[in-house]
Structure formats: structure tokens, C-alpha cells
Amino acid sequence: MTRPDKPGQLINWFVCTLCVPRVRKLWSSRRPRTRRNLLLGTACAIYLGFLVSQVGRASLRHRRAAEKGPHQSRDTAEAPFPEIPLDGTLAPPESQGNGTTLLPNVVYITLRSKRSKPANIRGTVKPKRRKKYAVAFPAAGREALVRPSLQPQEGARAADVEAPAYIQGENLAKVGERPWRLIKGPGVRGGGSDFQLPKARESNIRIYSESAPSWLSKEDIRRMRLLADGAVAGLQPVSPKSRARLLVLEGNTAGSVPGCGPRPCGLVKQPLDMSEVFAFHLDRILGLNRTLPSVSRKSEFIQDGRPCPVILWDSSLSPTSNETHSSVKLTWGTYQQLLKQKCWQNGRVPKPEWGCTDVHHHEWSKMALFDFLLQIYNRLDTNCCGFRPRKEDACVQNGLRPKCDDQDSVALAHIIQRKNDPRHLVFIDNKGFFDRSEDNLNFKLLKGIKEFPESAVSVLKSQHLRQKLLQSLFLDKVYWESQGGRQGIEKLIDVIEQRAKILLTYINAHGAKVLPMNE
């Protein structure tokens, strides 16, 4: 007898092989017939119930197969479950020979594709700007051309807010050499009533915060923007015999400048004098406020397009001599005597025999500190007697180095005041040198100085000089890029920081006083 494979046959086989011999044994035994009949009836009842359950399952399965159809039940029994396509396409119906169409027996589904993320994810979320639209004036007609303003902007951030409509147009046209954008205002129907407005020109003075650094005044920012972004009206020589050039800008000033007229001017210097821009920012950070606003600018008709410093031309400066370019005639010996007399300090009027000038005593301390940090020698040490000069230095080129034997008779240069303010100095020609080694610094610049300005010394001690210089120099885009970006600026700041440490050591070693100098 073979062993069955299906579950129902297995149970029947089990009952026949195990129960039947036992029933026969009980039947032939000598036990009472009543107990034997009871066991036999129980076994038959169990077997009958099993048969009834098998018959019910079989009938239910056949009933479901009849409802689905004979063809489908045969396919599902013989063929595996077909693959469901996920691309959303529906297979064409199959045609039979008798002309009827066989409907597909597979349910096709379509999966919703996930939303793809944008390819470019912005690292900075910019605030949503309120749209501004152009307003049509009746006298201007349906189309109007508006020239860009030549006035310096108050800030890069303010410029973006003031002219967002310039960057909302999609079409760009050019009128002459100036770019223009087409924009639409509210209620405009079609392109016939579009206004052509100028594209907002990016300023070379970058201010991305709510306000400029605290050490720069609003007037400083205004003048920096004028020098960096002002429209050029011409280029004029400073004097018939001078090679220096004045950059004449469009606009009006209070007074008249020779060569410029009523327009503002900027003195254009050589590209090698870029340290003038650094000197201006350092002066403002130290709280001295003695230099003229300076920016770096490049143009096709200035130095062949190379970046060069442009310093504001101030008509209020006192006239100077042609030899020393100073409004105050002083020699080194006389200068040392003035430091001892402390002219005009604490409101004290100097005596005639002291030989004092109109310059306040504290001005010399500010100038000496400023010149030492930048190693500017052309004011107090024109003959380069306090350090070892190089062949490129002006004192060597002019043959002034051998005159160091009689230093007391050497004249000071670039000592300038304003006409209406003779008590204070104005620092001009502030070309600094960052390549002076620590063992070749000019300490002659500090000779005779017994007091130093508290505002400047506090900045040097605060360890915030680097941070402030980076913030301030970043405003001048052309200068920042001309020095190699942040990496190049950091190298210049390294030099100034090291000299600041040396200066602080010098102040402590010589017992110099640190005083507030707000006069």
C-alpha cells in the first residue's frame, strides 16, 4: 500500500491502518458486547464527521471555480501569477479566432512618482522682497526712458531694496552702451505700456548689513561711494608741472577746486600706492580720523585699467610749499623742541619764546603711532636715517641717505592742516610698507613721543584689530580683489598685528602714558 500525497488521503490512510486492526481485535475479544459496541460507534461517528468536512470543502472550491469561469481557473492552476507592470501602460487586448476580444485578466496599477528635489539647493534663504512697480506719469507717455542716477548709493543693501523692480523683468535690451530692462507695472495689459528702466549698477562699496561699520561715518560712506562709483567727467593735471592727475566726477561741491571747478575730484595715484586705501581704514578703526577718504578704482582710461588708489581732493587744506609739501615749516630739531613744550595741551596757551605752532601737542602722538604701524617714513624721516632703506626707496633714489649726519636740520614733509582748523593735522601721502622686517623697523618715528592716544591703544590691546580690518577692507571690492582676496588681506593684517605687539612693548618699556586725546 502506497502512502498518499494529499492531506485528505493521508488521514483516510491513517484511520485504515491504525483503527481497523484495533477494532477487529476489540471485536474478537471476550469483552462485553455493550462496551465494544460503544467504542465502535464512537469511531464511526468521528470518521463520518471527517468525511462530511472534506465533502464540504470540495464543494465550496468547485462553486468558486464555477463563478470565475473554467478558463481562468485552469490558467491559475497551471500558470504562475503574471508580473504587474509599474510603468502605467496597459497591455493591448488579445483577439481570438472567432472575432471576439479577450479582456486582460491582470489588473494594472500605476504608482505615483515621488516629487524630485530641486537640483540646486540654495545655501542662504533670502527674505521675500516687496515688489515695486513703475508708475506712469501723464507727461511721460506710454513709454519712458529713465537714466540711472549718478548720485552714490547709501548702501548695497539699500540699493537692492530701492530698485527691486529693475531685476524683475525677463527681457533685457540695450540702449547705446547702457543695459536696460523691461518691466510691467500693476494693471498693465500687454507689452505696449512697458517702461524701460536702467539696470541697477552694483556698487564697488559693499555693505551687506543693516549699517556700515561704526568707525566709518555716513559722510565717509558717501564720499567712498562717490569716489568708487561716481560718473567721470574728465581727467585733469593737478598743476602744469605735476604728473599727478585729478579724476573729475559729476556732481557739485561747496567750493571750487583748481582744475575741477565746482565738481568733486579725486587724486589718482600709482597702483603701487595701494597701501593708501589700507591706511584710510586703519586710521578710522584706531579712532584717529586724520586721513582723507580713499578707495581703489579701475577704469580703462586710468592706469590702463589697473586698480589704483583714488583719494578725495579736499579744497579746505592749507596751501603748501613746493619743497616739503607742508603747511607748517619744521625741522627735526625744532620738532623735538615742540614735543618737550607740549604746545596747547590742557588748553594752555604757549609762550612766544617756546616757538610753538598752531598744531596741538596730541597731533604728533597720533601721527607717530600711525606712521610706525605702517612704517611711513616720508614725514618724519625723509632721509631714511632710522632704518636700512632699499634701492627702491625714495630717499635712496633722490640721494638723501648721506645727509643723516646732521639730522636736526632735516625738514619735515607732508605736515598739513586745514584752513579752518589749524589745531589738527591731516595725514596725506600715506604710503605704507609691509615688507619691513622686525629687525629693521624705524623707531626714530617714536622718538620724543611720551604720550599715546587711548582710543588707538585700546584697539591694539583688544585683539579685535584683525576682525575690524577684515570687515572694513571688505567694503572696498576692488581693493579686496586686487590684494588676492581674504588670503592676501590676512597677510597684510599679520604684519600690522606684529607691529602692534612691538609698539605695546615699546610703550611699556619706556613708561609712556596713554591718554584720551579728544581735542
Cα-based distances in Å from 311 to 235, 270, 277: 14, 11, 8
Which set of grid coordinates corresponds to residue 226?
562717490
pLDDT at 304: 79
Instruction: Give residues with Cβ within 8 angstroms of 384, minimum separation 6.
Output: 377, 393, 395, 396, 400, 401, 404
Q: SS in 3 state form for 395-460?
A: HHHCCCHHHHHCHHHCECCCCEEECCEEEEEEECCCCCCCCCCHHHCCHHHHCCCCEEEHHHHHHH
Q: Quick one: pLDDT at residue 331?
A: 94
pLDDT at 355 (0 to 100)? 86
DSSP 8-class letter at 145: B
Cell of 143: 513709454
What is the rounded distance in angstroms from the CA atom of residue 157 to the CA atom of residue 203? Answer: 10
Cα gap 228→152, rounded to integer Å: 9
CA 516, CA 519: separation in Å to the nearest integer?
Answer: 9
Supply the pLDDT for residue 3: 55
Question: What is 102-121 written as a DSSP string?
Answer: EPP-S---BPPPPPPPPSS-
C-alpha to C-alpha distance for 443 and 313, rounded to whole angstroms: 31
Confidence at residue 321, expressed as pLDDT on a 0 to 100 scale: 81
**Which residues of the chain fall below pLDDT 70?**
1-33, 55-201, 254-255, 259
Calculate helix-pair angle for 361-374, 332-341, nearest 10 degrees.
120
Q: With contact defined as beta carbons under 8 Å apart, do 426 and 418 qualify? A: yes
Contact 286, 370 (CB under 8 A): yes
pLDDT for 223 equals 95
Do strands 513-515 and 451-453 pair parallel, antiparallel, or not at all (unpaired)?
parallel
